[in-house]
Structure 1
């Protein structure tokens, strides 16, 4: 929490931290230029004391998914905070959060995705996750031995929920069309839904096919 708060503060934002550990609150209040409130964030009175009215964004990061869900619901229903994000400790709970309009992220899911990429091969960079981890934007360096090298985008059997949004060639971006041929050395910016991410990468690289 300390490092995340420090990073957000360094970008010019005001941060309020709510924690039910008094010793941690004392430490944070000494080390951060932030408002620190000792209390349980799953109670509306605590969030009110923390100044929830008028807040732009709420981030719930307790070790319990049910508490994070309650905190985000209180933020929306009681204080009108429309942008809430929650740490999901069990990746299977992510869909529940999304049904309530909460942007959920799972550190274990993110780490698993990064490991999958590293196991596959070098030259793949996960640029960003959107929609609470449901959308992946990935950059892939096309190598000579990839099956897609020399093929047009029309010829590549991508899943329906995967597309090449940009091709970077000789440091110049190209908006691709169906007839665009992928060449060795191209950097392909791939946009996929999470369920098709691994399959789309395998189609590009030929790994595991």
Structure 2
């Protein structure tokens, strides 16, 4: 997959390294000569340009990218990059970094954003996840479908232990996508058993999140 990252600061470079390790082709677009350091990640293609300028994106060949990640430290820049990438170059998937949570409401498909990633929100979610076993934690908002990635960990003594995935009577607009168990990533099948300590990741719309919590706490699944 070919991926362009606007912003080659600490965040942009970290994302680039991860993607390169995953065998993706990465192009870093950076307008600051201070952050333009190709030697830091020589496996990436580097472009010294302003990603907010239409001509710069065209010259960089942004239309050939499968994904654009707007990862600068400026929300206004990230919104402009997202809008240009989607509307002018028809990039299939646009991911944008949200620096200020007060601006999060802007990062929607109206601005060309498919997925908005709020660093402050993710840090807060990480804290909640670390201290809130059994509580529902929203990890990420998936803007294109107005759905969320949410996590809940089955506590010790859960009545769901030993029951099967098929026993979870989930509401519409909710899907169990992954179970994290120890060092394993499990793609859930209907016959898979549930265990205390399982981290369960769901994709769901806002209005059914509390129903998921009720299901996982077995208030709707008692025989």
**TM-score normalised to the size of structure 1?**
0.69
Q: Where do residues 39-50 of structure 1 align in structure 2 (5 Å cutoff)?
A: 39-50=49-60
Task: Tell me which of 15, 20, 34 is aligned to 1:4.
Answer: 15
CA distance in 1, matches of 2:125, 2:211: 13
Identify the residue that residue 141 of structure 1 maps to in structure 2: 154
Structure 2: distance between partners of 1:150 and 1:56: 42
SS of equivalent to 2:64:
coil
Give the match for residue 191 of structure 1.
Answer: 202
The Cα of 1:72 is off from its aligned counterpart by 1.1
How far is 1:159 from its partner? 8.2
> Aligned equivalents of 1:82 and 1:45: distance in 2?
20
Structure 1 contact 58–83 (Cα < 8 Å) conserved: yes
Offset at residue 137 of structure 1 (A): 4.2
Task: Give the deviation of 1:13 after TM superposition.
Answer: 1.7
Paired with 2:41 and 2:176, the residues of 1 have a C-alpha distance of 45
Alignment RMSD (CA, Å): 4.3
Contact 2:75 2:97 in 1 (8 A): yes
Kept after mapping to 1: 8 A contact 2:122/2:139:
no
Q: What is the DSSP-based 3-state SS (H/G/I as helix, E as strand, rest coil) of the residue aligned with 2:29?
A: strand
Query: Aligned equivalents of 2:141 and 2:14: distance in 1?
Result: 22
How high is the TM-score relative to the length of structure 2?
Answer: 0.65
Aligned partners of 2:49 and 2:187: how far apart in 1? 52
* Distance of 1:24 and 1:167 partners within structure 2: 38
Contact 1:167 1:175 (C-alpha < 8 Å) held by counterparts? no
Q: Which has the larger radius of gyration?
A: 1
Q: What is the number of residues matched between the two proteins?
A: 197
Q: Against the structure 1 CA distance between its residues 28 and 165, is the aligned structure 2 distance closer, same or farther, given a 3 Å change threshold?
A: closer
Tell me, yes or no, if the aligned pair for 1:147 and 1:204 is still in contact at 8 Å: no
Q: Is there any run of 5+ residues in structure 1 with no aligned partner, and where?
A: 177-181
For residues 28-177 of structure 1, the aligned pairs below 5 Å read 28-29=38-39, 31-100=41-110, 101-103=112-114, 104-121=116-133, 129=140, 131-132=142-143, 134-144=147-157, 146=158, 175=190
Give 1:187 shift: 3.8
Structure 2 unmatched ranges of 5 or more? 1-11, 219-223
Structure 1 residue runs of 4 or more that deviate by more than 3 Å after TM superposition = 124-130, 146-151, 156-169, 171-174, 182-190, 192-206
